[in-house]
Amino acid sequence: MENIAGKKPALSWAKNVAMATMVLIWVIPTLGLLVSSFRDRDQISATGWWQAMLPVELTARARTGTEATPEGGLYRVEGVIFDDEEAQSYFSGTPGDISAFGIRGAEPTAYPAGTTADLGDGETLTVNADGSYVWITPEEPGNRGQRVYFAAESPPKLTLDNYRTVLSGDNMGRAFLNTLTVAIPATIIPILVAAFAAYSLAWMEFPIRGLLIAGIVGLLVVPIQLALVPVLNLHNEIGVGQSFVGIWLAHTGFGMPLAVYLLRNYMAGLPRDIIECARVDGATDFQIFTKIILPLSLPALASFAIFQFLWTWNDLLVAKVFLPSADEAKVMTVKIADDLLGSRGGDWGILAAAAFVSIAVPLGVFFSLQRFLVRGLLAGSVK
Amino acid sequence: MNPLIQGLATIILGVGGCIGYFYASNLLLDKVLYPAKGPNIASNIRRANIIRPWLFIFPALLVLTVYLAYPVVGSAYRSLFNRSGDEFIALGNYVALLESPEFRRSFLNNALWAIFVPVMSVTAGLIAAQLSDTLKWGNIAKSLIFMPMAISFVGASLIWKFVYAVDSDIGLINAVLAGLFGAGPIDVIQIPFWNNFFLMFILVWIQTGFAMVILSAALRGIPEETIEAAILDGANPFQIFFRIKMPQIFSTIVVVWTTITVASLKIFDIVYAMTGGNFGTEILPSYMMSFMFRDDGRATSVALVIMIIVLPVMISNIRQAQKELR
């Protein structure tokens, strides 16, 4: 299209800007989630993810040491606050300068760094910007030092902790396996069933063929909601109940119209000559199907497989209804929507990591097999 | 049994069973029932060929009947009974629905979804398709806009929950509000009425890529001569777009439009994950789920309402398919 006359080059920068804006709106939210999932919990609540590469001012807690030297009736404790283990746990790498300190959690930054805080009864505390402190107390300190709060800049901290927590602690690893267990059989089983049906609808003559095709097109838009109650009752009656077998069957059924429709459209477009030659040579329908149609239809089979995989992997509704509600049978979408959003509602790092675990596989499939996905969409854009 | 092993066994059993069924049933037909030999060879072959299509289509037909065709009838029947299913109450459930303010709320919200989501997705998709087709980095742009297609609705909801967060250190919207205008934090999920649009935008974000891919293919399919002729006649770019291109891709736009409309009537995940139906954001699918496992009669009646709304699309699709077959 670029060689068409009448395109104004003056407009091209505007097009670039408009396109770039749109792409940014589409990408930034996902990027934010990815960055957040690698950030430390304290850093997430301190600054936005777009500042992830900048140092963060964190408020930390620590205790002074207790080795005192007597000094004219008072005891003097000196040290560096960053030596305290509790203080270290807040920072990764070398902390920056201390900007302020305090002695009560309610006012962690009551005194600027370098000043001396009067704690009453002749007790004083000085904390300098470099972390060194002097604590002077009239009583000999026991085995507990003075509580100190302080604010210091922490270098950016990117960790895998959120992923570790999610995968080990929250049963998310189990949910990942469950999702895989649901998605793979539910993707593979419908393919063969649909392929045979599609072949007979595309290349075999029988009376009500047209009616069946129209019926399948109609079933494409039937809302799944309609099937939930009757099918679940049916499963309960025949003893399948809420189980993996049940959800495989359900996904097979719900994916069938699209599968037959997509494959039939593709197979009907294959050249008639090949099939007729094979018939003349004495091939049976079964042979034509397995030796000619199936290999030629691989692109369409791949398209459908990708669709069905993405659909079953990402599904929430069918999993909620057809799988048991026990924790060990939950898939990731249910886990996130029902458990994590409720109990971990404010823990953004964990939520982000959980979400990313669940969308990583579909994104991988998407970027590696995008070609087939587009082809499939163009062939059957009805569902 | 470990579900993973059970899954593997099911794959082997399922695929093996399929191959076995098709192979064995064909063998039975050709060798035992109507062998292609002996005195009746001609009529045997003819009969075998009448039966064979049904062998091929039977498993798919069975699954379709049990999982999609029967439920339409089954749901309609079940919706005429009360909660426990033992008392026939005719249209009682539907009357209760009409009297319930929540049902009206979700019906109106769903109507809003069915209008706003396709309008925005198709418009954005058309713009993206038109822009990306003329740019050098258009394919990368397309790929990125298409990406949300692969993300689950739950995942997408979570992604946007971050953007909509009240805390200006997490939510981009509130960060921009605070940074540029110094305005206080607002919880967009709780603004009455308008919060619906923030939820709808999540679906728009997902569906735009779909609209773009299909419309972009349609735009490329437009014969160049028509455009060149328009340019020679002195048409400006806007005239070319609205008078030449749009009419030629109109049927594709209709297909995309109806597909997204149907999707926006069926999606339950976004409302469920974002608000759980609170703050006046309930839509029919999530309203139905609030009755699931509690009151099957009411749940099926809501499902049937969704079905009735989708029915016109279904009929027009069937008509279209029949036209193409002839």
pLDDT digits (tens, 9 = 90+) for B131-180: 888 888 888 898 999 999 899 999 999 999 888 888 877 888 888 888 88
- Distance, in angstroms, between A86 CA and closest chain B CA? 25
The closest CB to that of B52, out of A28, A204, A228, belongs to A204
Q: Do A22 and B162 touch (CB under 8 A)?
A: no
b/e for A50-72, b at 16 or more Cβ within 10 A? eebeebbebbbebebbbebeeee
Render pLDDT for A155-202 as a digit per residue (tens, 0 to 9): 777 788 888 888 887 678 888 888 988 888 889 889 989 999 999 998
State the nearest Cα–Cα gap between A271 and chain B, in angstroms: 17
Q: Do B307 and A257 touch (CB under 8 A)?
A: no
Contact state of B60 with A224 under an 8 Å Cβ cutoff: no
Q: Does B26 touch chain A (CB under 8 A)?
A: yes
For residue A22, list chain B residues with Cβ-Cβ distance below 8 A. 124, 127-128, 131, 141, 145
Question: For A335, which residue in chain B has the nearest alpha carbon?
Answer: B154
Distance from C-alpha of B211 to C-alpha of A377, rounded to nearest angstrom? 10
- What residues does B81 pair with on adjacent strands? B88
Between chains, do B273 and A336 touch, taking CB under 8 Å as contact?
A: yes
Two structure tokens written together for A201: 């609808």
Pick the CATH number of A163-379 from 1.10.760.10, 2.60.40.10, 3.30.70.360, 1.10.3720.10: 1.10.3720.10
Are A300 and A266 contacting, i.e. CB atoms less than 8 angstroms apart?
yes
Minimum CA–CA partner of A49 in chain B: B170
- At A120-130, the pLDDT tens digits run 777 888 888 77
CA distance linking residue B161 with residue B271, whole number of Å: 12
Structure tokens that stand for B19 in this block? 């191959």
Query: A98-102 and A116-120 as β-strands: parallel, antiparallel, unpaired?
Result: unpaired
B15:A46 CB<8 A: no
Detail the DSSP E strand segments found in chain B: none
Given a contact cutoff of 8 angstroms between Cβ atoms, the answer to whether B174 and B90 are in contact is no
Q: Under the phi-then-psi rule, with left for phi > 0, alpha for psi from -120 to 50, and beta for the rest, what region is A140?
A: beta
Is there a contact between A198 and A239 (Cβ–Cβ < 8 Å)?
Answer: no
Say if B80 is an interface residue toward chain A (CB within 8 Å). Answer: no
| Tens-digit pLDDT profile for residues B263-275 | 888 888 999 988 8
DSSP state of B237: H
* Interatomic CA distance for residues B312 and A138, integer angstroms: 87
- Rounded CA-CA distance A136/A124 in Å is 5
User: Got the DSSP string for B46-113?
Assistant: HHHHHHHHHHHHHHHHHHHIIIIIHHHHHHHHHTTB-TTS-SB-TTHHHHHHHH-HHHHHHHHHHHHH
Residue of B113, B151, B261 to mutate, testing the A interface (most A Cβ within 10 Å of its Cβ): B151
A71 backbone dihedrals φ, ψ, rounded to 5°: -150, 95
Q: Give me the residue label for tokens 């497989």.
A: A305
Phi, psi of A148, deg, nearest 5: -130, 135
Which has more pLDDT, A347 or A154? Answer: A347
C-beta neighbour count of A303 within 10 angstroms: 25
Structure-token pair, residue B17:
């069973």
ipTM score for this prediction: 0.89
Choose from B57, B121, B236, B272 for mutation: most chain A CBs within 10 A: B57
Where does CATH 1.10.3720.10 sit in chain A?
163-379
**Residue A63: closest CA among A35, A107, A103:** A103
Query: Rounded mean pLDDT of A323-333?
Result: 87
Q: Work out the pLDDT band at A383, boundaries 50, 70, 90.
A: very low
pLDDT at B155: 92
Q: Does any CB of chain A come closer than 8 Å to the CB of residue B124?
A: yes
Structure tokens at A306: 């990708």
Burial B10-46 (b: 16+ CB within 10 A, else e): bbeebbeebeebbeebbeebbeeebeeeeeeeeebee
Å between A212 CA and nearest CA of chain B: 9
Residues A116, A170 contacting (CB under 8 angstroms): no
What residues of A are in contact with residue B172 (Cβ under 8 Å)?
A: 28-29, 32, 48, 50
- Picking from B110, B154, B309, B314 by the largest number of A CB atoms within 10 A of its own CB, the best residue to mutate is B154
Q: How far apart are CA A375 and CA B217, in angstroms?
A: 10
With an 8 Å Cβ cutoff, is B42 touching chain A? no
